Chain A
Amino acid sequence: MAKPARPFKPVIATANDLASGAVLFRTAGGAWARAPREAEVAENDQEAAALLAAGERDVAGNKVVDLALIPVEREDGGWRPAELRERIRAAGPTIDLPGQA
């Protein structure tokens, strides 16, 4: 028996900059931004597929590597990555870095 369709979770596209390794998020304008709040949010399957295809073109174009769609959730009128891992990935380590405490 087919499982009932789960409600679609909104996603954004993330990857790392090829040359620097920096964590990036794809914007609606096709640029790659450092802040997940600037990312284009795909709110259904068709939009997610289009976002993934656009990201894959940037991978093929050697702009970014390690492309992934990650779920986001609403926060303060915007969106933030839903998973702790992705929030840490976006914001950096949760600790003071040595020499910067």
Chain B
Amino acid sequence: MYRYDEFDRGFVAERAAEFRDQVRRRLSGELSEDQFRPLRLMNGLYLQLHAYMLRVAVPYGVLSPRQLRKLAHIARKYDRGYGHFTTRQNIQYNWIQLKDAPDILADLAQVDMHAIQTSGNCIRNVTSDHFAGAAPDEIVDPRAYGEILRQWSSLHPEFSFLPRKFKIAIIGGPHDRAAMRAHDIGIEVKREKGVIGFAVYAGGGLGRTPMPARKLRDFLPEEDLIAYCEAILRVYNLEGRRDNKYKARIKILVHETGEAEFRQLVEDEFAAIDKSLYRIDPAHAARIVAQFAPPPFAVLPARSAIFESARARDAALAAFAARNVAPHRQPGYGILTISLKPVGAPPGDATAGQIEAIADLTETYSFGEARVSHEQNIVLPHVRLDDIPEIFATLQAHDLATPNAGLVTDIIACPGLDYCALANARSIPVAQNIARRFADLDRQRAIGDLKIKISGCINACGHHHVGHIGILGVDRKGEEFYQITLGGSGDENFAIGEIVGRGFAAGEITDAVETIVEAYLRLRESADETFLSAYRRLGATPFKEALYATEPA
């Protein structure tokens, strides 16, 4: 994985020291809140419902054991013993005190981490496929390009005051595990006839006006990646709306300008750019690529006798392996998902002890690398199949062995009104109630792949628009109320879910979800037809009938 060089390290340490001085001046009254607020937001420190919240950047979701241990230390020392992994592969702490923030940033800097550009109208942390470098269907590991984009976008002087925040996701194969088309810029790294290039998309986003990103280029040459992104950002920076916060994202610009015209604007800007200034020095690029070289895998048989006999003996391990171990490109290895969705717990939360246990597993079994997924789980990307029984036993000891990856209880939920100052309704209790309703594992497995995603307001941090079942919390005359969308998908078959009908009160929403799931089980052609496939075949009508059948006409 990428290791900071002296430049990165100096820059982050300097920034932490600057912030220490800014906090000192705020606490002494030299700076007013109006003067200080932009400074704290530039360092990822928000004021939320109950306290300050610190959002720490995890570039493309990659973490080392040393970093994980520091994150656990921060949770224990400065917070209430836990952290929250987010849909942008970051971690947030909910109970931070302003006076501690400088020490936390200094602690983070020790492990090459920071909270820069996790807030504000700038280019945010670049996200990627949590199976990068491990998935059999991957064409090119996208992380090196993610790192190049990180370096380019960090403190980019021209793009520090964009009309609105800007999110980039990058994937390295045809299967999209990063909801790439829900991003302001989405990039798919490709290889054709041995040559690397990029499909470049722009104008995607969720929120109040959800839009799939449109493809601008099918195969941008490798050397032009930064110049082309620069061209997109310049067009957006100049033409994007600044009069209305809800119309300021690039998706609105692309939509209002029209795809063809927007593409032309970008191409014109791109043509005018002196590309030689943006070409990455090949030696520098080679150094970055080398840092993402595959780990020293052992040559192993594809089938592990140890693993197979253990799962034959242990039904719990078998259930875990069936859902939480994905095939790896390297024979004898697997990709292991640690679910942060035990039934009845807040999705994405992990205690300091759990984070430390994950750090140890990462170090011992996964070549020192863990990933945060946008689905709010942790991934050990490179584990030997032989080691999975031992890993599983450790996970069980830390309440981290929930065998539900991709099942109905593996729910994405934003913090909602339990934590967030922007929320209109709670998300976590809705997720907890649904998970409890479907707690029976046999039932979950009979239902199969099903993604429920819940947001507590229209900003859609919980990605509800791309949930197979999406739930949006709204405020209706002071009461929490929930709208359901169906048929959304964040993968390569990207789709925005459709609102199914009138919403449901907090006390009704679990029943409504169960009604939809039961209707699917009745209507599917076979157990092989997933919820999403069945919905696409049948449309919304039978689900509407099931939901609203008992109402008077």
Contact = CB atoms under 8 A, between A and B. Distances in A.
Interface of A: 16, 18-23, 59, 61-62, 65-66, 83-85, 88-89, 92-95, 97-101
Given A95-B346, A98-B350, A20 B429 contact: no
B49 A89 contact: yes
B116 interface: no
B351 interface: yes
A46 B426 CA distance: 35
A68 to B, nearest CB: 11
A85 B417 contact: yes
Contact of B47 (A16, A59, A92, A93): A16
Interface residues of B, number: 34
B417 A23 contact: no
Given A65-B33, A97-B82, A98-B350, A20 B418 contact: no
A87 to B, nearest CB: 10
B478 A84 contact: yes
B428 interface: yes
B289 to A, nearest CB: 38
A12 to B, nearest CB: 17
A22 B51 contact: yes
Contact of A21 (B26, B51, B81): B51
A44 B32 CA distance: 30
A97 B47 contact: no
A23 B50 contact: yes
Contacts of A101: 345
A18 B27 contact: yes
Contacts of B419: 93
Given A18-B98, A19-B98, 19 more contacts: A16-B51, A18-B27, A18-B33, A19-B97, A20-B98, A21-B47, A61-B29, A62-B27, A84-B478, A84-B479, A88-B426, A89-B50, A93-B418, A93-B419, A95-B346, A98-B81, A98-B349, A98-B350, A98-B351
Given A20-B97, A88-B417, A95 B429 contact: yes
B51 A98 contact: no
Contacts of A100: 80
B33 A99 contact: no
A59 B98 contact: no
B372 interface: no
Contact of A92 (B50, B82, B98): B50
Contact of B99 (A20, A62, A94, A98): A20
B432 interface: yes
A58 B380 CA distance: 49
B462 to A, nearest CB: 15
A21 B419 CA distance: 13
Most buried by A among B33, B47, B429, B479: B33
B82 A98 contact: yes
B418 A94 contact: yes
B52 interface: yes
Main secondary structure of the interface of A (DSSP, over half): loop
Main secondary structure of the interface of B (DSSP, over half): mixed
Most buried by B among A62, A83, A92: A62
Given A18-B98, A20-B98, A92-B50, A99 B429 contact: no
Nearest to A99: B351
A65 to B, nearest CB: 5
Contacts of A61: 29
B480 interface: yes
B96 interface: yes
Contacts of B96: 21
13 contacts: A16-B47, A18-B27, A19-B97, A19-B98, A21-B52, A21-B96, A65-B47, A66-B33, A84-B417, A84-B480, A88-B426, A98-B349, A99-B81
A99 B95 CA distance: 15
A88 B99 contact: no
B26 to A, nearest CB: 8
Contacts of B479: 84
Nearest to A83: B478
B353 to A, nearest CB: 8
A101 to B, nearest CB: 8
B47 A66 contact: yes
B417 A20 contact: no
B432 A95 contact: yes
Contacts of B49: 23, 85, 88-89
A93 B80 CA distance: 13
Contacts of A66: 33, 47
Contact of B346 (A20, A21, A98): A98
B538 to A, nearest CB: 35
B98 A21 contact: yes
Nearest to A93: B418
A88 B418 contact: yes
Contacts of A99: 81-82, 351, 353
A94 B51 contact: no
Contacts of B429: 94-95
Nearest to A61: B29
A73 B29 CA distance: 35
Contacts of B426: 88, 94
Nearest to A88: B417
Interface string B407-441: 00000000001110001001011001000000000
B36 to A, nearest CB: 9
Given A20-B97, A99-B81, A99-B82, A62 B417 contact: no
